[in-house]
Each structure stands twice: as structure tokens, then as C-alpha cells.
Amino acid sequence: MAVIQEPIHYQSNGLMPGMVSRVKHPAKRLYYQRRMASSLALQTIIYYNVWYSILYFGLILLITGFKYRTQKINSQSIKIISPVLFSIWSVVEICRLVLAHIGNLQERVQHLAAFFFLSLFPQLLLVSYVVGLQPYPTPLEEIAGAIQITFLLAELIVGYHAIRYIIRVQATRFRLDYPYQSAVEAF
């Protein structure tokens, strides 16, 4: 009967690049062979959403200015609410996209969770106000808002699965590294 030995893995020493050392501990070997757990699909959607958000910002700014010059809006509250909601959308959109970008690339669950909740609460409601809840919407606003809602829904779905996957990978990494860390700290 043949005895099967575990293959020996070698890792380059960081201090002396020409020197290699044998990696004996399986958790450390898996740590050295670590792969990224970030989501390429989420990163792609974020990338295109950044460019579309810049376009959307300019478009809504121009349409709002056009509406105030050409249409007779009698309600003073609409004249105040629309710019305030647009300002809130602008600030939150920048924060949301930065959190998504950093959270996905650096595999930070707390950043991705903040991105997820910012997508749900203010952004989805603010864009839906532009699409259907505001008085006197223009067709261009409705189309641009529908595209923005599509981006938001795609980011919510893909972001949810990315968060779950990153949590699972980080929990596995923790379980693999924990016995080795506690043994090193004991000495």
C-alpha cells in the first residue's frame, strides 16, 4: 500500500527574495495562497454607475433649471423641496459609491453594509420621487430616473450576494488562522 504524503509547499521569504522557506502550517499555506473575494460584477456595476451618476446629476440639474424657467410652478413647497432632495441625493450618492468601491476592493463588510443601506433608504426613495412622485415630471426625468433605479436594484441584488460571500470567506479565513495565531501567541 502506497503512503501518500502531503505535498511540500515553499514560500518566498519577504526579507531575502532568493531564499525560500518551507510552509508547514496549512492555515498559513492557505493564507499565502489567498485569493480576492471581491465581486467583479459589483465592481463593474459601480464603475458604470459612477459615470451614469455624473451624467444624471448634470441632466437633472439642467431639467430642474429648465422647469423653473418655463413652467409656472405655483407651490412654494415644491420649489423648496425639489432642490433640497436633489442636494441630499448628490451628497449621499458620492458617499454611497465611495463606500461600495472601497468595501468591495478591500473586502470590508462594514463598508458594503453601509453602501447597501444607503442604497435602500435614501437613494431608492429619492430617485423614485423624481420618477413618479414629483409633480410636473418631464419624460426625460422619468427615463433617466428609471435607468438610475435599474442601477440601484442591480447593485442591491449583486451587493447582497457579494456581502454574503465575503462574510463566508472571511469567516473561513478566521477559522483557519485562529489555531495558528493562538499557538504563536502562547509562546
Res. 83: pLDDT tops 80: yes
Distance, CA of 173 to CA of 181 (rounded, Å):
12
Q: What is the mean pLDDT of the chain?
A: 82
Backbone angles phi, psi at 186, to 5 degrees: -70, -30
Confidence of residue 136 (pLDDT cuts 50, 70, 90): confident
Per-residue three-class SS string for the chain: CCCCCCCCEEEECCCCCCCEEEECCHHHHHHHCCCCCCCHHHHHHHHHHHHHHHHHHHHHHHHHHHHHHHCCCCCHHHHHHHHHHHHHHHHHHHHHHHHHHHHHHCCCHHHHHHHHHHHHHHHHHHHHHHHHHCCCCCHHHHHHHHHHHHHHHHHHHHHHHHHHHHHHHHHHHHHHHHHHHHHHHHC
Confidence of residue 100 (pLDDT cuts 50, 70, 90): very high
Please report the pLDDT score of residue 184 as a whole number: 52
Please report the pLDDT score of residue 137 as a whole number: 84
pTM of the model: 0.74
Tens digits of residue pLDDT in 3-23: 555 555 555 555 555 555 555
Find where cell 438610475 sits. Answer: 148
Stated length of the chain: 187
The answer to whether 137 and 130 are in contact (CB under 8 A) is: yes
Domain boundaries, the chain: 41-171
Distance, CA of 9 to CA of 122 (rounded, Å):
50
The answer to whether 64 and 118 are in contact (CB under 8 A) is: no
